[in-house]
């Protein structure tokens, strides 16, 4: 009898424990309204993403970005471009693929300078695409880079994106023979001649930067002259052929570039001089007040001395204190502060 009573008592306790207060599970109703995401909202968000409309994740970043930048804003930029129709790898690295995509987008958009640099004007154009619910056809502005790089007759690899303001052009990388910058203008700076010659021209961004540089030199009490800017492929071919016939090809190639391998064809280079060296392009220019000011201050305006002294084994060209190359302020300051060349800068970024 006692055994039965014990069994009955145990059963009653078990029932009482099981019916005790339980920790309530959190339902959708218990989550604050601000944190709830309904299936309808999620579907709408997914549809916007698929249609290329702007969402929080695809809003173009409010920043200036260029090749080799590494930042969360770069990933945000890639997401924005992917929402328009591109297929970029979702990383925070501003690589060659993103440089191509930005250039391609710029070439397909009205009133944008094709530079491969993501700037405020490019951001505004991207926002307009989202507002108008417009997609884009990747590659219609600038063809996708070929799987196998083209090479020149001399065996030099051809640059696939000649619009890139940071394009490396030297004896290893050449511009296409038919490349002519579309935004060439004459900078408002002194020239030692009055004729309207091609060598007066530069690409627009570089031309405006050169104007500011000359204004800075003038404020410092100095007088410089722009001597030689844009040079076509055909013109470079004539110059190199003449130098090679007179001094031999190997010697000519230490101071004169083969066609396609000249930075002057980019429209981003300008040779400058002063009256102190009789307006000539000579090494002595580097010893003048103008030459010394230029070496110190050119980076503030986005320029580097492209062929510095002591780096001939890297650039494969003689020292040219007169040869300016536009790369933008951030890159110009870094290259100059580190005492490196554009070639070395590229090597650093590849590591």
Give 298 or 18, the one with higher predicted confidence.
298
- Detail the DSSP E strand segments found in the chain: 157-158, 173-174, 184-185, 202-203, 225-228, 269-273, 303-307, 320-326
- Return the pLDDT at 3: 45
Q: Is the pLDDT of residue 6 over 80?
A: no
User: Considering the chain, what percentage of its residues have pLDDT values greater than 90?
Assistant: 75
The answer to whether position 47 is within a domain reads: no
Residues 237 and 122 reside in one and the same domain: no
- Return the pLDDT at 247: 84
Query: pTM of the entire structure?
Result: 0.83
135 band by pLDDT with thresholds 50, 70 and 90: confident
Strand-pair partners of 271: 228, 323
Residues 78 and 209 reside in one and the same domain: no
- Lay out the sheet containing 303-307: strands in order across: 225-228, 269-273, 320-326, 303-307
- Domain end position, chosen among 145, 179, 208: 145
- Domain end position, chosen among 120, 145, 170: 145
Give 305 or 111, the one with higher predicted confidence.
305
Q: Could you read off the pLDDT of 158-206 as tens digits, one per residue?
A: 999 999 999 999 999 999 999 999 999 999 999 999 999 999 999 999 9
Number of domains in the chain: 2
**What is the span of the domain harbouring residue 279?**
157-350
Helix (H, G, I), strand (E, B) or coil at 293: helix
What is the β-pairing status of strands 173-174 and 157-158? parallel
Residues 238 and 303 reside in one and the same domain: yes
For the ranges 38-42, 213-217, 254-258, 314-318, the lowest mean pLDDT is seen at 38-42
What are the helix and strand counts (H, E) for the chain? 12, 8
Q: Which of 68, 119, 148, 63 is nearest to 342 (CA)?
A: 68
Residues 104 and 249 reside in one and the same domain: no
Contact by Cβ (8 Å): 291, 302: no
């Amino acid at each position: 009898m006692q055994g039965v009573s014990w069994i009955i008592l145990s059963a009653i306790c078990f029932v009482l424990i099981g019916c005790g207060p339980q920790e309530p599970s959190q339902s959708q109703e218990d989550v604050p309204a601000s944190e709830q995401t309904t299936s309808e909202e999620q579907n709408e968000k997914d549809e916007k993403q698929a249609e290329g409309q702007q969402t929080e994740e695809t809003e173009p970043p409010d920043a200036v970005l260029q090749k080799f930048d590494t930042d969360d804003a770069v990933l945000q930029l890639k997401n924005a471009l992917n929402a328009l129709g591109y297929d970029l790898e979702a990383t925070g690295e501003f690589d060659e693929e993103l440089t191509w995509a930005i250039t391609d987008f710029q070439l397909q958009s009205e009133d944008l300078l094709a530079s491969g640099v993501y700037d405020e004007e490019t951001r505004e154009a991207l926002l307009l695409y989202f507002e108008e619910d417009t997609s884009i056809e990747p590659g219609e502005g600038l063809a996708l880079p070929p799987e196998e790089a083209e090479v020149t007759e001399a065996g030099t690899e051809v640059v696939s994106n000649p619009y890139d303001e940071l394009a490396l052009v030297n004896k290893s990388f050449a511009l296409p023979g038919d490349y002519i910058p579309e935004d060439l203008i004459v900078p408002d700076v002194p020239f030692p001649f009055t004729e309207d010659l091609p060598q007066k021209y530069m690409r627009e961004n570089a031309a405006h930067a050169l104007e500011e540089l000359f204004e800075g030199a003038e404020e410092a009490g100095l007088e410089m002259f722009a001597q030689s800017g844009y040079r076509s492929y055909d013109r470079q071919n004539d110059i190199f052929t003449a130098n090679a016939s007179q001094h031999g090809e190997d010697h000519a190639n230490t101071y004169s570039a083969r066609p396609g391998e000249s930075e002057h064809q980019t429209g981003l280079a300008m040779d400058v001089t002063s009256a102190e060296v009789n307006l000539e392009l000579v090494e002595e220019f580097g010893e003048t007040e103008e030459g010394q000011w230029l070496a110190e201050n050119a980076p503030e305006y986005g320029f580097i001395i492209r062929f510095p002294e002591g780096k001939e084994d890297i650039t494969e060209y003689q020292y040219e204190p007169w040869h300016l190359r536009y790369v933008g302020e951030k890159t110009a300051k870094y290259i100059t502060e580190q005492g490196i060349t554009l070639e070395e800068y590229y090597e650093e970024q590849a590591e």
